[in-house]
Structure formats: structure tokens, C-alpha cells
Amino acid sequence: MLTDLQIAQDTKMIKINEIAKKLNLTQDEIELYGNYKAKISYEALEKVKNNERGKIILVSAINPTPAGEGKSTTTIGLGDSLNKLGYQTMVCLREPSLGPVMGVKGGATGGGYAQVVPMEDINLHFTGDIHAITAANNLISAVIDNHLFQGNVLNIDPENVIWRRAMDMNDRALRKINVGLSLKREVPRYDKFDITVASEIMAVFCLATNLEDLKERISKIVVAYNMDQEPITVKDLQVAGAVTMLLKDAFKPNLVQTLEGNPVLIHGGPFANIAHGCNSIMATDYASKISDYTVTEAGFGADLGMEKFIDIKMRAMNSMPEAVVLVASIRALKLHGGVDKTELKEENVEALKKGIENLEKHIESINEFNLPYVVAINRFPTDTDQEVNFMLNWSEQNNHPVSLSEVFAKGSEGGIDLAKKVIKEIENKKQKGNLLYSTDLSIEDKLKEIATRIYGAKEVVFKDKAKEQIEIYKKLGWDKLPICVAKTPLSLSDDGKIKGRPRDFTVTVRSFKPSLGAGFIVAMMGNVMTMPGLPKEGAYKNMDVIDNLIVGLF
């Protein structure tokens, strides 16, 4: 069987200026990054700003497992299938972070015959957007410590600096560090690194609607508190303009293509277990104004990605998806049913029957938003006839629209049934979707709505620190913002070891973090970390392809 890289290398890419023509973009409206990547100019974005939006389709999934679900592959394949059926369709994805690329996950450009290319560029440095976000984040850190060094006019409490440095790599050694140790006049303090895609700069980057909005949001970011416990912002540090300048080119959406030569926008990449897990509003808004359908994804399972996509991103866009595609694989459902990952190739209908409860909960969550859906079963060669028949019978008995997706093996041809069923659900839709909660609710009540209706929790428990922060946020007027939950993506609960569909469980909020620039409050649940670590066997070990590239060059 050919690898993803071999399939990509065997496919002749179209020059990106030809892809741009499919979007009616002129040569002056794109900025080339080589032959196969480009950025879309601000002039091109401005030209369509008053267009009506087409229909947005959200691709989500069950809770992720090591067996693989295929959310990105399905997103890309569905976009190709809709284009094949004659609908002008854009795919919008997040930019891969180097941390997961070198860690457990590996790349994030789809797989098989449903890929975006050039995959190796996209998975590595791409157009430098994430590096620009890293630099912008660390400029703020440098200014904070310089301010402390130069006399601390703002009376910043060195022990209450909440802004962290960032690096786009899994590096557990940087979770806790000491800074300011080289000179006597420096102010020593504890600091931490977050992975760049967990930085508020990334969240702001993806939620801003134009450059002016980007600067305004950056200005609002809270970086520390002074000795009187008053918040200190980026605006107070007088660095908002410089940070925005560092991002001005990165802020333009990136144009690439699928293996079938269809246009794709890949822009921004906040983590969904920490931040809101969606690509940029800039890209999604543009795509939706030039196409019939925009197919986009939200990170991890529907409990994190879908909920945040709707309650944070769609709220900010004053929009709503027309339908949700919920991706699952028989392999992954068996894992949720208790099968060991070494035994996934063996038929086990009983485990599938138990694991399907995870899928059922996510369907219930979609219904909380009153949205139509189609379940996409990402088919693997090891799926047996009995297992497939069980899934089809289950869907028929429970009136769930379902499609066997084979886009990995067949490209757009393997997703025609899925595309037709999604269109049918959209056309038969009887009502507009709704947000889960009003921002007028208290912080506690908003979290209760999310935890009970989306996770299926019995109650939410708040640690003492979280309770204290809620009172402070109320006084500061921050309690009317949406909530962005940071928790494990591996479970509906806040314990990643609990698979399937847990019941009668509690979730614990240990603390909060204000993200005023992004426009939400982050609730930290369980033991989620903002700087992951590399595994014992990292994906970086599988990159011997560089040897072939070197041989090809010389």
C-alpha cells in the first residue's frame, strides 16, 4: 500500500496561480510563496466583504483515539466530492503545529487520496504564520521583563505575571522555568512556556475580522496584575502596534490545493483542548462569500471542537453552520468499547455495540444546537462485513443519517454518497441552529450548561482558586464572556482514561484564565497541560524521507 507521502508525490500539483484563477483571483491579488503556496491579499478579501455567505458545513468527530477517526481526511474528501458534484466548494483547515507533527499525531493534511498539498511544506514551516505568532507572543514577554528591569512604572507584580512565553514544539522541560537571573538589576521570577498554538495570540489571530480588529483585540490582552490587583494589558505596555505589525503578513489566509486540484484555505491553528480549535475567521468568512459550500473542521471531538466552533467562533461571526458531519471509525468505536489497540483488526461486534454509546452522546450534543447531521463512518480495510452491517442496522433503527466514507481509498468518488446526504439534510432543514447558552448567564451557569448538556456530566465542582477568580472576574465585568473549556480531548469527562460514554460523573474546574483579546474566559478542567511533551516514540523518527529528498537534489 502506498504511503500518504508517496501518493502526494505521485500526484502532479497545479501551479497555485492556476488554483487562484478558479477563485477569480488575479495575479495582483495573491502573493506567491513558491509555486504551490500563496497568500490572498487584503484587496481580494475587501472585494467580497459584502457578498452573501454560502452554506457552512462543520466536520466534527467522536472523542479521538489512537485508532484514528479521520476528521481531516473526511473534511478534504467531502470538499472534493461536493466540487465533483458541481458545487463551488471551499475547504478551510487549521495550520498544523510542529508539536503534534513531531509528537504522537504526525501530520495534519489528511490521508490517502484525500489530502492537501504540498503536505511536507504545510506540516513544517508552511508560510511562517506560526513562527510569526511565536515572535509576537515573545515580544510581549520581552517587553514585560524589560518593563520590570527599567523601573516598573506600571507597578507590575512580578509574582502575578500571567503571560507566558511560547514555542511551537512539545518541550516538557519548559513547563516551569526561572527568568531574570543574568544581571543583578533584573527581576528574577518564575515563568512558563506554552506551545504556540495554545497562546492567546493564536486565538486572537483566528477570531479577528480585520487588521483593525486584530490590533484592538491584542490591546485588550491581560498580561499581568499590579500590586493593587488591577489588570495590566498589552495596551498599557504600548506594544500592541508592534505586535500587530509582526502579524500583518501572516494574517492573510493561505491558499493551497487538494490532490484533485480544488482550492483549500489553511490559516491559523489554535488547539481545541486548550483554545477554541478552529481555523481563522478571515479564511472562513472569505471562503463562505465566494462559494456555495464551505467545509471546515473543529479540533478533537464534538464535546470540545463543535461546542467551541458554535459558541465562540460562530457567535463572533454572527453565523451558524447549516449541518454537522460527525466522523467515526469502527476501529475507534471498538476502542471506546474496551478493545485493546493491539486487537483492533479482530472482529468484535460486542465492543462496537458498547463503544457506539460515545457516538450517540455526540449526536445528542448536535441536537442541543438544533442542527441536522450525517454520521460519516470512515471505512478501514480491516472493518468486517458484520461490523459494517451492525453500523448500518443501528443507523436505520435509530433514524440516524449515515454514510460509509471511502475518501481515503477513492478520493472524491468515495465521498459522493456522503456529499449527497449532507445536501439532502441541509435542504430538508426545518429551523436555524441555536447557540447553547446566553452570555448573560453567570460563569457557573454557563459551565453547567456545557458540562451537563454536552459532556453529560452530573455536576461541575469548582476548586477554591476558581471560586476566588469568579468573584474577581465579576467585579471586573468579565463574567459576561463566552467560556472556552480546556480539558482532555480523550474523554467526555475531564479524565482522559475514561472512554465510551461515562455517566453520573463530575467535572472539576481548577482555575480560570482571562483571554479578553480572544473574547472568552478559559476554564481549566482536570490536568490539561498547555505545553505537551514528546512521546517515547515520536513521529520525528519517521521522517527518513529527508534522505530521499537529499538524493533527489544532488
Q: Assign residue 199 the CATH number of its domain.
A: 3.30.1510.10
Tens-digit pLDDT profile for residues 89-106: 999 999 998 888 887 766
pTM of the predicted model as reported, rounded to 2 decimal places: 0.94
Residues 55 and 66 in one domain: yes
Whole-angstrom Cα distance, residue 212 to residue 431?
35
Residue 497 sits in which domain range? Answer: 443-525
Q: Is residue 16 part of a domain?
A: yes
pLDDT value of residue 542:
74
Residues 374 and 283 in one domain: yes
Contact (CB, 8 A) for 254 and 265: yes
Q: Is residue 554 part of a domain?
A: no
Residues 79 and 192 in one domain: no
Instruction: Provide the domain count of the chain.
Output: 3
pLDDT value of residue 545:
54
Q: Mean pLDDT over residues 42-47, rounded?
A: 97
Q: Is residue 468 part of a domain?
A: yes
Q: Is residue 15 part of a domain?
A: yes
Long-range contacts, 212-218 (Cβ 8 Å, 24+): 214/244, 214/247, 214/251, 215/240, 215/241, 215/244, 217/517, 217/518, 217/519, 218/243, 218/244, 218/517
Tens-digit pLDDT profile for residues 274-328: 899 999 999 999 999 999 999 999 989 999 999 999 999 999 999 999 999 999 9
What element of type H or E holds 222? strand 222-226
Residue that finishes a domain, picked among 205, 220, 247: 247
Residues 254 and 324 in one domain: yes
Q: Mean pLDDT over residues 166-194, rounded?
A: 88
- Give the confidence band of 7 by pLDDT, cuts at 50, 70, 90: confident
Q: Is residue 550 part of a domain?
A: no
